[in-house]
Chains A and B, each alone.
Chain A
Amino acid sequence: MAPGRPAQSPHDSGGGDNNSKKRKDAPTNPQHDGPNKRPRQHIDQRQKIRIARTLSTQTTSAAFQNGALDVSSFVKSRAYEIQALENGLQRSKKALNERAFQQVPKELRRRTASHNVKRVPKRLRARAGREMAVDNTPTVTARRRKPSGHMRLRLETVKKLRALGAKRKAEKDKPKDASVSELPAKDVQPGTITTAIKPRTPKVKKSLLATPPVPKAKFRKRQIHKSWLPTHLYHAKRARMTAPSAPLWRFAVPLTPTAKSYRPTHRASHDRGAVAWDMSYISTIQLEGRESSVLGMLKAMGAAEEDLSGRKASKWRAGLRVLEAFLYERESPHELIAPVTMVWCVYANGAESVEAEGRKRKVLLRVHPSAFFQLWEEVLRLAKVAKPAVSVEDLRFEIGSLEITGPGATEALLGALWPSETVSASNSASNAATTGMDVDTTLDTPRSESVGDIWQKLAGLTNPALLPQNALLGFNVQDPRLHHPPRTIALPKSDAEQHQLLELSASWPIDAAQKSCDIFDGKARHLASTTLPSQKAVNRRKALSPPGEYPQALPKDPRMPVLLYSASSATPTNSSKSRQQPKSHNGGSWTLLAPWKCLPPLWYSLMYYPLSTGQQPRFAGLDQKRQLAFEAGKPWFPGDFPGTKAGWEWECEDRRRREGEWRKRPRGKRVGYEKVEMGGGKKGEVGVGWACDWERLLDGPAVVEEAALGVVEDDMDVDGVAAEKAGDGAGSAEKAGEDTVKPAEQEKAKEDAVPFQAPPKPSQLTQLSTRQALALLASPEAKLPTHINLTSALVTVRLTLLTRGVPQPCARIYRLPTDNADLRRQWLALLPSNLPHKKQKGPKHALPRLPKDAPAHVVQQRLAQSLLEPPRAGEDKYPACPAEEDLVGFITTGNYDLGEGQGTGIGSLLLSRVRDGGEERNGCILRSAGTGLGRLARWEVV
């Protein structure tokens, strides 16, 4: 080591001399030029690391002149050493660093392997460029990339088709040359459809199912059995979609982003940021008719009386609020269909006079697509008999929607939605700075303000739950592409501004200002989607505007009708005021309805909005939707409503998936459900291990015998016969196939690879609404509508574990043992409220940790205490799981809850079995399928 010279990195000598596509030889050892490239590169890296790790040192003669010892040289030599060591630490850390492309943050991971410097963030660009130059990596752009196998085939087909099409078009256009030149003019000036021949206005066919929009020829083949969401192209690049062969509800639905997103989604929705979904798959039905007859229809479908006609519902009926309610089938057995969101159109011109009574009004019903057909048929049937007549329209592919939640949701929406009204009023396109709060305007004259103006005053709102519950805003917005890329809006900073926001949310002037919303108007929807200018036209306008400013809004610009409402809950939880809301910290979410074709521009503006807290809104898929519903402690339709038809189908699908996963594993590595120790010397899982086995739960003791025979004797005939005896006709075949494990059966199951059809729902299985369940639980004599069979009515509950453990889906829920008093006492002793030591430090559910130097008497005390400690799971004294007659339900969703910091679950219970539980009625015992260990939990109706 030369004194005073730090070790050099090997990349000092540069200079590109050749244009070959190979990596350059390492500058340090040019003499090696053999054919074996790989080992040399390896050596190169090791050399690099070794050099980086070598520390420079100083010799004595260099440090001390003439060997003389004095303080200054002494200090200098130490200082040199410090410097050298610190450099060494830095260098050795850097030597292990990856390339700039690998340092891209997680959100931008998609770009790491793109081999284009322009795709990495600016701060890394210079370094990446240098690295690419050194390695002689060619820059790749999408345009010049060599198409891969499939893509090549596809491109060849496209080329051929294009040639054919061009030929055909040329032939077609030959006779009428004159009309060709006029066509592009339409593109340049949108909104002016003043051609001589008016296009025929499409006649709305009522009471017919909507057909999906005809996709572009390029994409038509891929949408034969399903339709794409309006933002499919965005999601398909970034998310895992449903498999092409297995669309969900006839849509290609994004399931989960490709990037890891469990925790980031939780953070973005609770702490900072925003999470958005394209919810266009939610179906919309429009009813049009007299208010009274529509209300009558809804009443016939089982909507609660006070929701529809009470004083509280007057705002909903006026079209100023949204109502979410459960709707039921009209015929007995009055099955629950789904939670439905209902929105009235505002009275035209605000006249709520007597004359308005006779006028036709419109209401939108929004329902999950899995329950759409059920609701549609029900609505059609009722509309036919309604007097005066009600017309029904299927708006499935006409109205798209998106949902956004999280603290930054309002901000992002404000950045994307520029109301049209303000522009027409002031006629001045302003840049982003003025879109935010307009401080000078006061709230004194709410009448004069339009909904759009008020909407813009919501800047600074972090939780839509601050607004009146289920608030609603309907207005028209400009084309968001004119303001793309969006800029961060001005947020309120002073207290006065914040106060104004509070005042606004308290007084809520929208109620006075809301005019009838264009989204209910089919013509307006149609106009907005057809007059949407092409991207080219938008770009041209943007190019003409002065630098740094958005283009001027023109009066001819299309106005996109949107309807925005804040949903504070996923399911109706009204009438539960007395009960504390399970988790109020979860903010509400905004749902935006817009014409189907207008959704993509809105979506892009939303996704690229730079939030004031940094980053952009995240997009999410179905899994995240379920995750957030679970974290909020709310059931998700259809998965958590197994008593409905849609929920039953979902459960069957889930069952099939879990069974496939189970069967896929070798015998030794999968859970042996038939061998699970159930306590009390019993063996074998209750029902099918991979299912929430509702049939087993309902069919009661008859099934117990069957299961015992089937499992213990392993006799197929008995099994099948018993199943037929107990089951309900059609379901028996599946049952025989699914029940327990047997190699012969498995093979048989493999053979029939027919497309999956969910077996019909057990007819007696029903789902109770929250309201009914609470009423039944509150008083034993509460009356149920006669049609509901109480013995088979399910109620959705949320479970919190009292000790430890994380509930898994399919976990079995038991009530505290009823006929075994001893066992019951043992379980009750485990309740935290019954434990002797209450407040404690240290690990949860264990004795506090002792300090190291604890005196002897404390240690002894501890010993005595630990003897009194309740038995831990796994110990011999730990109470066994209750018997099957105490089985009350199953967990449908269960996981570790990031918000709660412990495992929670959503499940369903048979209400009749928990109704008379005596003391500790809400206590229950959870046992994951395939294990014999029970955990104490508590349930509450949600």
Chain B
Amino acid sequence: MVRIKHRYLLINILYPDPKSTSGRPATKPGDEVPYTVQFRRPSPDRMDGGVLTRLIRDGVAELYGDYGSGKVAGSLQVKYFSQATSTAIVRVSRDYYRLVWAALTFATRLPNPVGQSCVIQVVRVSGTIRKSEEEAIRRARLSIRRAEAAAKSSNAATAGLAAATPQLLSTEDDDADMINGIEDPDDPRDIEEDLDDDEG
């Protein structure tokens, strides 16, 4: 028997418009939220796997017409969607995952019940759900570390302490990366950090 082969897309949803998002920065004055945290906002509660499916289906239909939606419809499934972290894993058949990817890339706005402008990043395409889950774990770890480092540095800055630790430097670099809005998963620095993390 021939196995039906799939691709699993690990995606992140970003909300660039701060006004309309659900997670607003805390209003307290001395408690600024670091950029890395602001960049990865949670999704609104109404957003769920169904909405994401609809978004993809509509997008594919718009871009590729009936052909595309027919090819994709059979296998499209949202395997995992976490609102708190705006991470999702989407399954699609191996032959047509590019259609879905394109639809995701061209999406600018979540469909109606949510109705918010968004950017969707496909951060990993893998053949098994296991690998995409592992990647999601890796990325979650990375963002935790960055958030903590950023929080520390901002606290240090407000307290007027100049602690030039290597970690601090690296977070600055991270922030510089973040300004471009592009994460490079294969950045050697990241891997080193990973290794450190494992040792610790």
A binding-site residues for B, Cβ under 8 Å: 55, 57-64, 67-71, 74-75, 77-82, 84-86, 88-89, 92
Given contacts A60-B84, A63-B84, A69-B25, contact A78 B144 (CB under 8 A): yes
> Contact between B83 and A60 (Cβ–Cβ < 8 Å)?
yes
- Inter-chain contacts of A77 with B (CB < 8 A): 42, 84-85
B119 at the interface (CB under 8 A from A): no
Q: A60-B43, A81-B137 are in contact. List 12 more A-B contacts (CB 8 A).
A: A57-B80, A57-B83, A60-B44, A60-B45, A63-B84, A69-B24, A70-B31, A71-B34, A71-B147, A84-B82, A85-B133, A92-B130
- Report Cα–Cα, A69/B15, bound state, in Å: 13
- The chain A residue with its CB closest to the CB of B49 is A57
Task: Convert B22-33 into 0s and 1s, putting 1 for each residue whose CB lies closer than 8 angstroms to a CB of A.
Answer: 111111000101
- Report Cα–Cα, A85/B141, bound state, in Å: 12
- Report Cα–Cα, A905/B140, bound state, in Å: 58
Chain B nearest CB: distance from A84 CB in Å? Answer: 8
> Contact between B41 and A69 (Cβ–Cβ < 8 Å)?
yes
Given contacts A55-B80, A71-B37, contact A82 B22 (CB under 8 A): no
- Report Cα–Cα, A77/B147, bound state, in Å: 12
- Inter-chain contacts of A74 with B (CB < 8 A): 37, 40, 147
B52 at the interface (CB under 8 A from A): no
Residue total for B at the interface (Cβ-Cβ under 8 A):
38
Residues B128-173 near A (CB distance < 8 A): 130, 133-134, 136-137, 140-141, 143-144, 147-148, 150-151
> Contact between B82 and A57 (Cβ–Cβ < 8 Å)?
yes
- The chain A residue with its CB closest to the CB of B85 is A81
- Inter-chain contacts of B151 with A (CB < 8 A): 71
- Report Cα–Cα, A86/B135, bound state, in Å: 11
Chain A nearest CB: distance from B121 CB in Å? Answer: 16
- Report Cα–Cα, A71/B148, bound state, in Å: 7
> Contact between A78 and B85 (Cβ–Cβ < 8 Å)?
yes
B binding-site residues for A, Cβ under 8 Å: 22-27, 31, 33-34, 37-38, 40-45, 79-85, 87, 130, 133-134, 136-137, 140-141, 143-144, 147-148, 150-151
Residue among B42, B45, B134, B144 making CB contact with A75, cutoff 8 Å: B144
What are the 4 tightest A-B residue pairs by CB atom distance, in nearest-first order? Answer: A63-B84, A77-B84, A69-B23, A60-B42
- The chain B residue with its CB closest to the CB of A71 is B151
- Inter-chain contacts of A89 with B (CB < 8 A): 130, 133-134
> Contact between A59 and B83 (Cβ–Cβ < 8 Å)?
yes
- Report Cα–Cα, A79/B22, bound state, in Å: 20
> Contact between A70 and B148 (Cβ–Cβ < 8 Å)?
no
> Contact between B84 and A71 (Cβ–Cβ < 8 Å)?
no
Count of A-B contacts judged by CB separation below 8 Å: 98
Chain A nearest CB: distance from B79 CB in Å? Answer: 8
> Contact between B137 and A86 (Cβ–Cβ < 8 Å)?
yes
- Inter-chain contacts of A62 with B (CB < 8 A): 84
> Contact between B84 and A64 (Cβ–Cβ < 8 Å)?
yes
Chain A nearest CB: distance from B125 CB in Å? Answer: 18
Chain B nearest CB: distance from A55 CB in Å? Answer: 5
- Inter-chain contacts of B34 with A (CB < 8 A): 71
Residue among A57, A68, A82, A84 making CB contact with B141, cutoff 8 Å: A82
> Contact between B133 and A88 (Cβ–Cβ < 8 Å)?
yes
- Report Cα–Cα, A594/B94, bound state, in Å: 68
Q: Is the interface of A mostly helix, strand, loop or mixed?
A: helix
- Inter-chain contacts of A70 with B (CB < 8 A): 26, 31, 33, 37
> Contact between A81 and B136 (Cβ–Cβ < 8 Å)?
yes
**5 A-B pairs in the complex with CB atoms less than 8 angstroms apart:** A63-B84, A67-B24, A69-B41, A81-B87, A85-B136
Chain A nearest CB: distance from B128 CB in Å? Answer: 11
- Report Cα–Cα, A817/B45, bound state, in Å: 85
Q: Is the interface of B mostly helix, strand, loop or mixed?
A: mixed
Chain B nearest CB: distance from A484 CB in Å? Answer: 48
> Contact between B42 and A64 (Cβ–Cβ < 8 Å)?
yes
- The chain A residue with its CB closest to the CB of B140 is A78
- The chain B residue with its CB closest to the CB of A67 is B22
- Report Cα–Cα, A71/B37, bound state, in Å: 7
- Inter-chain contacts of B130 with A (CB < 8 A): 89, 92
Chain B nearest CB: distance from A66 CB in Å? Answer: 9
- Report Cα–Cα, A84/B87, bound state, in Å: 13
- Report Cα–Cα, A357/B41, bound state, in Å: 105
- Report Cα–Cα, A717/B43, bound state, in Å: 92
- Inter-chain contacts of B137 with A (CB < 8 A): 81-82, 85-86
- Report Cα–Cα, A793/B51, bound state, in Å: 87
> Contact between A69 and B136 (Cβ–Cβ < 8 Å)?
no
Chain A nearest CB: distance from B45 CB in Å? Answer: 5
> Contact between B82 and A81 (Cβ–Cβ < 8 Å)?
yes
- Report Cα–Cα, A82/B136, bound state, in Å: 8
> Contact between B141 and A60 (Cβ–Cβ < 8 Å)?
no
Given contacts A69-B24, A78-B143, A82-B140, contact A57 B84 (CB under 8 A): yes
- Inter-chain contacts of B38 with A (CB < 8 A): 69
> Contact between A81 and B23 (Cβ–Cβ < 8 Å)?
no
Residue among B27, B37, B79, B84 making CB contact with A81, cutoff 8 Å: B84
- Inter-chain contacts of A71 with B (CB < 8 A): 33-34, 37, 147-148, 150-151
> Contact between A68 and B26 (Cβ–Cβ < 8 Å)?
yes
Chain A nearest CB: distance from B138 CB in Å? Answer: 9
- Report Cα–Cα, A325/B92, bound state, in Å: 73
- Inter-chain contacts of B81 with A (CB < 8 A): 57
- Report Cα–Cα, A55/B85, bound state, in Å: 14
- Inter-chain contacts of A81 with B (CB < 8 A): 82, 84-85, 87, 136-137, 140
- Report Cα–Cα, A77/B133, bound state, in Å: 16
- Report Cα–Cα, A74/B140, bound state, in Å: 10
- Inter-chain contacts of B87 with A (CB < 8 A): 81
Chain B nearest CB: distance from A85 CB in Å? Answer: 5
Given contacts A69-B41, A74-B147, contact A64 B23 (CB under 8 A): yes
Chain B nearest CB: distance from A193 CB in Å? Answer: 71
- Report Cα–Cα, A60/B24, bound state, in Å: 12
- Inter-chain contacts of A85 with B (CB < 8 A): 133, 136-137, 140
Given contacts A71-B34, A81-B136, A89-B133, contact A58 B144 (CB under 8 A): no
- Report Cα–Cα, A64/B141, bound state, in Å: 19
- Inter-chain contacts of B42 with A (CB < 8 A): 60, 63-64, 69, 77
- Report Cα–Cα, A64/B44, bound state, in Å: 11
- The chain B residue with its CB closest to the CB of A84 is B82
- Report Cα–Cα, A55/B25, bound state, in Å: 29
> Contact between A75 and B148 (Cβ–Cβ < 8 Å)?
yes
> Contact between A68 and B24 (Cβ–Cβ < 8 Å)?
yes
Chain B nearest CB: distance from A82 CB in Å? Answer: 5
Residue among B37, B84, B134 making CB contact with A80, cutoff 8 Å: B84
> Contact between A67 and B23 (Cβ–Cβ < 8 Å)?
yes
- Report Cα–Cα, A85/B87, bound state, in Å: 12
- Inter-chain contacts of B134 with A (CB < 8 A): 89
Chain A nearest CB: distance from B13 CB in Å? Answer: 12
- Report Cα–Cα, A571/B148, bound state, in Å: 74
- Report Cα–Cα, A70/B34, bound state, in Å: 9
- Inter-chain contacts of A61 with B (CB < 8 A): 45
Chain B nearest CB: distance from A397 CB in Å? Answer: 56
- Inter-chain contacts of B37 with A (CB < 8 A): 69-71, 74
- Report Cα–Cα, A70/B137, bound state, in Å: 21
- Report Cα–Cα, A85/B33, bound state, in Å: 26
Given contacts A75-B144, A77-B42, contact A69 B26 (CB under 8 A): yes
> Contact between B84 and A79 (Cβ–Cβ < 8 Å)?
no
> Contact between A60 and B133 (Cβ–Cβ < 8 Å)?
no
- Inter-chain contacts of A64 with B (CB < 8 A): 23, 42, 84
> Contact between B144 and A79 (Cβ–Cβ < 8 Å)?
yes
Chain B nearest CB: distance from A70 CB in Å? Answer: 5
Chain A nearest CB: distance from B57 CB in Å? Answer: 21
- Inter-chain contacts of A88 with B (CB < 8 A): 133
- Report Cα–Cα, A86/B137, bound state, in Å: 8
- The chain B residue with its CB closest to the CB of A70 is B26
- Report Cα–Cα, A271/B81, bound state, in Å: 51
Chain A nearest CB: distance from B86 CB in Å? Answer: 9
Chain B nearest CB: distance from A87 CB in Å? Answer: 10
- Inter-chain contacts of B31 with A (CB < 8 A): 70
